[in-house]
Structure 1
């Protein structure tokens, strides 16, 4: 098994406050990492704060915090707080997110996303040292800010990235990349861009969607809906066009025409099977291992259903 074995938190199907025992069980099952997300459910930091106390050996990561929805200073404060709670065990993952989350849901213009994350990486590096930051970047300015409590160990900062420009930025200016919605073969196209700047060991965190021990037809139905929901978002469509996944063209055409049902039905089984891993739990673990062999350093499982306790036990690194 890989050295790292992560899972997405909070676990679905159980209220966050009731997950203590589940989280506490993770290290004994071989899990090394928990990584949160932030879209329309819990925020990215609260589940990790709880996990830092419930299971003090786990590594914690955000995958990801949108770069637009918190001001730079507030983001630095939140990250420094968690870094102080879990010294040496927290990694901050940031990314552009999408126009849906940033603009439609939060009313913030989704403009020049590359510049925003590039500038944010530079600001965070400076802020985490405890120095006073008074500077202007192309995408924002910060005047006279200093962290009241700077972290003793500055957290590594990883960047969510899909296509070459952002992947190279993640490797050049960040500590690695966070990727999702890709196959194990796609990792071989992505990893060289992250590691081309003299960082052969740059971290690549991959969120991998899994449905262990679910009948094939049911798993494909769930996976097909997920693929349609995500890969019609412009940033993900552009990513898969870059990867050459043109078998999704009929889905994109039907979605653009407003035919949602037809779009879902147009997704080939082969695409679903490669992007949403399903089958017996042992087979799912083997499929995840293929990502590691292709260059992923930290696989982060994202179960799409099932009873949480049963799922984490089924996918344990120590079955």
Structure 2
């Protein structure tokens, strides 16, 4: 099995665990931005340790950095940070499974952004998958009971769908930029380049959002630090998942990595049904199935 496939499956698994822990923090003790910052603040020291260990074990030196690397890494970091905030906000509007599934529109958007930003074209099957995935989003965008929406326009542009689609756009942008960042490091193996790019992104995210919290949400940083038991575990799953994502981006185009990464939906619905005891409607399940079909089309196209 290609390394990028293994890395992507691991990334999806750890990301699902991280979303679950982040949801817990959001609905119990922290604000949206506090729960978002906790992920970066607690994962950053672990990234430093992981990078140092790999440099020592592999005997490599740090890769050379190009000017384009900093641009890609910083834009990707900001996009991922804002996308994460959108997902955390969305958890308060729809159940766990639907919240994560709406964010998975990034697979569709990554294909277009990859072509525009990096010139990485997609095949005809990917275009077919875009329409299949859009149909799934339409089904998932129905608001919950109590929120009346009679038209297609209203179903698509309700607040829950807005947060989900915006998070998908921002996650897609960050994925393409992270691939661009790893491609603009010279020297070292894929894991080393992934770790360096991840460290830079995490430092930018921790510093930027930390300053925002200190300015706009007094006391929130203290609450984050007080939640170290859950936040520390979330930081570990975040570091493992992000390192796997970055490794996959170093090996394969963002569109294909994100396509396969939607295997996370399987993990998400299992957690939603078996652990959180949440119930999904028939339309939500049908929408998720269409998104999974979209994943399979793109995945098979990648192997062709």
- The normalised TM-score by structure 1 is 0.26
More helix per residue: 2
More strand per residue: 1
Relative contact order (alpha carbons < 8 A, sep ≥ 6): 1 or 2 greater? 2
